[in-house]
Amino acid sequence: MEKKVKALLDTITFLVFLFFDFVDVVLCVAYELLDELFEAKPFPCYCGKKLETKELSETLFWRKNVFREMGFLSFGRKTCEAVKKRDDGNRGEVVNRWSDCGCDSCVSWMKKSNQKLHVVVKEFPQVNSEDGPREEATTENVIFLHGFLSSSSYWTRSVFKYLSEPLNHQIYRYFAVDLLGFGKSPKPNDCLYTLNDHVEMIHKSVISAYELSSFHLVAHSMGCNIALALAAKYPKFVKSVTLVAPPYFSDSNDETSSSMALNTVARKTLWPPLAFGKSVMTWYEHVGRFFCFLICKNHTTWERIFKLFTQTRELNFMVVDLTRHTHHSAWHSMHNVICGGSKSMDDYVGILINAKVKVWVIHGDQDLTVPLDCSNNLKMKFPQLKLIIVQNVDHGTVIFHRKRDFVKSLQHIWATS
């Protein structure tokens, strides 16, 4: 009986994703035609041949589509190839895509020549004692990086209010960053959102802008890949790295780390609904763009509707963050950071180990988004890491259901580093 049920579910899953294969090919043609009409500088899709560049993840190109492989609607494929080969230099300046949101926050990158990330800073001033000024305090800087489809609010609305000045002779400055393409940060259309793009913007917006000579890093989920890349680039600046639920995937005999990442974090499944949505948005470039056209482009309208129906003045920040991106930024960050970035994680961790930087890993044992095996495998590969496994919590509750304990863990890590 169980085998029959499983076979039925597998058949339904196959048919559903076969339907999305067909829709994605049709939308490929539709978007190419619409981009030709409305875009000043169309961005090529990834339905054609693989581009020879190390910056892009191979998962962008090898996502198999039954109808595309059969040559069905080959006109769409030829059109994609034509766009890739076309000289875009005479098409005019890059403007916001017609299918992306045009609100002030989302198009802010078009109005600034010197783009920087949105950064929230929390700082504790030096306080004098009754007997006069206390001894000169040292400044400790901490940079917080959020995960996929999130923003700096992930930290400012959770752990920031529990952060305090733990030692008499230390002043802490906390920086919560909206990563490139998310939250209130710029969302440029001529960017591929590679690990290097994210690292360069963090350096420009935080390390250079605030003249940091040393700092701790705290990152969650996708932010862990960026944190490791940032720390490996500036190992002499980094005092500690805390990774919460890192999407770590090592090579196997049959799969590269990139494909392992894609098949783990965005496995094709119908249940639960969140996993189904993530698989559709990750595997199907044009279907994903269509849903972003309906939701993200009109996020301000949806927010007003939700406020009206819920009778609340302010929506939950996690609901708002889900729509504060463009398809272009989310699509490339998923593939180039989470999937493609997994290829370099061993090298990054190796650099930090050799530089004697303390690396801590915190993971919930009920995490279904990024399985606990990721951190266990990371610990097995690098025994020098400190691994903390938290019982009965998942990808989000590892922080949100234990904010005080999480802050205590951070303060212990900073003090011992």
Catalytic center residues: 146, 221, 367, 395
Measure Cα distances from 26 to 30, 187, 285, 330, 366 in Å.
6, 27, 12, 22, 39
Q: How far, in Å, CA of 369 to CA of 221, rounded?
A: 9
Question: If we measure between CA atoms, which residue out of 23, 25, 22, 19 comes closest to residue 75?
Answer: 25
Q: State the amino acid at position 398 in one-letter form.
A: V
Residue 221 CB neighbour total at 10 angstroms? 25
| C-alpha Rg value of the chain to the nearest Å | 22
**Greatest Cα-to-Cα distance within the chain, rounded to the nearest angstrom:** 82
DSSP state of 325: B
Q: State the amino acid at position 268 in one-letter form.
A: K
257 φ/ψ angles, rounded to the nearest 5 degrees: -60, -30
Q: What residue has token string 């930024």? A: 329
For residues 238 and 231, the answer to whether their CB atoms sit within 8 Å is yes
Q: How far, in Å, CA of 231 to CA of 229, rounded?
A: 6
Give SS3 for 395: coil
The structure tokens listed for 314 are: 């302010």
